[in-house]
């Protein structure tokens, strides 16, 4: 089959690789019909080696497909079913899964428990599991993971159930926006866009979206967010404070993560591997929250941090909640919303569909934030 493989920094290609097959009774194999390219893939695209990705590894963790074959222990899905596959691989029956902490599943944890649940296509720190940007995907723990999706939900919406929608839903839940409160969202990629919409849907009175790209700012504004282009203000934290009566936002989401723009010094520290993550967005998120407020971090970070504002966070009594999305914990609620007329307009998020064969171009366009390219989905069936 053909699959998108990592070749080295900023280099992916589409190669012929062996077809996956059932290896355990709890496996399934699906034929992938739509597979997203995610901001998380961009971290691997840029710095895969430091996240234990090896040349030749198959990327991708957002899959919608049709079941081809199931192992003997898989009973809730059968060949021919249309399913979406959550990006974390979880067993559904361990101590962590019992608490809905699917991204911490103890059955699939890798590195002897030093990392959370295994993930598709996310390097050997997360289990070295072949990824979803391929014609076929082996789905481990398939007795629990895959979810059947109604025919009425279009592919480009359904594929967002693998990651984007449950991740944004969790980020908003973790942000604990008080009734009638204000949420600031750093980063208006696919995750930040959906955080803005879900927060409004769940009752936030005001949402302030922060990014630098006009199309991303415009899209958030079209869904009711007030926006800040952080390159046009002297001090983005001060701007958020001014917009919130001098106090700061009740809740803040960091939907940017480790490759934040904004600090040349941090870019250099990251390049020479002194500090793995660029912290500009996290610093701004922490600075923008009011006393007693909550910061929810959904942007991915990989290492440690210098200059952590411990004293400020202590003094301000800030609550922090972060982590990889526990996808299955939110999918039922998201599905209800999609079935109830999709008031969050998930159907409008995918801006760009390309055949799998154009993966190199897809990665570059998404990474470079080409105008109009906000969420990219690859179509393995189309060349």
Query: Footprint of Zn ion on this chain (CB under 5 A)?
Result: 38, 40, 62, 90-91, 94, 97, 105, 107, 163
> For ligand NAD, which is the closer residue by CB, 63 or 280?
280
CB of 342 to ligand NAD, least distance (A): 19
> For ligand NAD, which is the closer residue by CB, 142 or 210?
210
What's the CA gap between 103 and 318, in Å, rounded?
A: 24
221, 210 in Cβ contact below 8 A?
A: no
CB of 238 to ligand NAD, least distance (A): 14
CB of 36 to ligand NAD, least distance (A): 8
Residue 262 contact, options Zn ion, ligand NAD, none, Cβ 5-8 Å cut-off depending on partner type = ligand NAD
> For ligand NAD, which is the closer residue by CB, 86 or 130?
86
Residue 105 contact, options ligand NAD, Zn ion, none, Cβ 5-8 Å cut-off depending on partner type = Zn ion
Residue 216 contact, options ligand NAD, Zn ion, none, Cβ 5-8 Å cut-off depending on partner type = ligand NAD
90, 102 in Cβ contact below 8 A?
A: yes
Residue 107 contact, options Zn ion, ligand NAD, none, Cβ 5-8 Å cut-off depending on partner type = Zn ion
Residue 328 contact, options ligand NAD, Zn ion, none, Cβ 5-8 Å cut-off depending on partner type = none
CB of 61 to ligand NAD, least distance (A): 9
CB of 34 to ligand NAD, least distance (A): 16
Residue 289, token pair as written in the block: 């929250």
What's the CA gap between 314 and 46, in Å, rounded?
A: 34
Residue 97 contact, options Zn ion, ligand NAD, none, Cβ 5-8 Å cut-off depending on partner type = Zn ion
Helix/strand/coil (H/E/C) assignment for every residue in 56-117: CCECCCCEEEEEEEECCCCCCCCCCCEEEECCECCCCCCHHHHCCCHHHCCCCCCHHHCCCC
Task: Concatenate the DSSP letters of all residues of 189-232 into one string.
Answer: SHHHHHHHHHHHHTT-SEEEEEES-HHHHHHHHHTT-EEEETTS
Rounded-to-10 torsion of CA 58, 61, 64, 66: 50
Q: Interface residues with ligand NAD (CB under 6 A)? A: 38-40, 42-43, 163, 167, 186-192, 210-213, 216, 230, 255-257, 260-262, 280-281, 298-300, 324-325, 369
Residue 235, token pair as written in the block: 């001090």
């Amino acid at each position: 089959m053909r699959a998108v493989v990592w070749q080295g920094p900023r280099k992916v290609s589409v190669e012929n690789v062996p077809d996956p097959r059932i290896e355990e009774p709890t496996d399934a194999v699906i034929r992938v019909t739509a597979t997203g390219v995610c901001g998380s893939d961009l971290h691997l695209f840029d710095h895969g080696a430091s996240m234990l990705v090896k040349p030749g590894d198959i990327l991708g963790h957002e899959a919608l497909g049709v079941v081809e074959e199931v192992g003997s222990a898989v009973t809730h899905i059968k060949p021919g079913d249309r399913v979406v596959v959550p990006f974390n691989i979880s067993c559904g029956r361990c101590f962590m899964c019992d608490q809905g902490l699917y991204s911490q599943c103890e059955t699939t944890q890798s590195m002897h428990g030093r990392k959370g649940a295994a993930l598709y296509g996310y390097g050997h720190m997360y289990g070295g599991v072949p990824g979803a940007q391929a014609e076929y995907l082996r789905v481990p723990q398939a007795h629990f993971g895959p979810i059947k999706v109604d025919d009425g939900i279009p592919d480009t919406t359904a594929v967002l159930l693998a990651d984007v929608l449950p991740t944004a839903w969790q980020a908003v839940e973790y942000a604990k926006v008080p009734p009638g409160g204000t949420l600031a969202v750093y980063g208006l990629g696919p995750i930040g866009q959906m955080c803005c919409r879900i927060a409004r849907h769940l009752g936030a009175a005001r949402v302030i979206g922060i990014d630098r790209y006009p199309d991303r700012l415009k899209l958030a504004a079209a869904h009711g967010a007030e926006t800040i282009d952080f390159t046009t203000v002297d001090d983005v934290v001060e701007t958020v404070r001014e917009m919130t009566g001098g106090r700061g936002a009740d809740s803040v989401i960091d939907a940017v993560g480790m490759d934040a723009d904004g600090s040349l010094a941090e870019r250099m520290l990251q390049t020479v591997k002194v500090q793995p993550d660029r912290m500009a967005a996290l610093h701004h998120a922490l600075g923008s929250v009011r006393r007693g407020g909550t910061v929810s971090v959904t942007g991915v970070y990989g290492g440690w941090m210098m200059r952590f504002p411990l004293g400020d966070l202590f003094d301000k009594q800030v609550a922090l909640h972060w982590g990889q999305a526990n996808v299955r914990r939110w999918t039922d609620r998201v599905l209800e919303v999609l079935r109830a007329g999709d008031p969050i307009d998930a159907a409008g998020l995918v801006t760009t569909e390309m055949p799998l064969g154009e993966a190199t171009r897809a990665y570059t366009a998404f990474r470079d934030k080409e105008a109009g390219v906000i969420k990219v989905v690859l179509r393995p069936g189309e060349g």
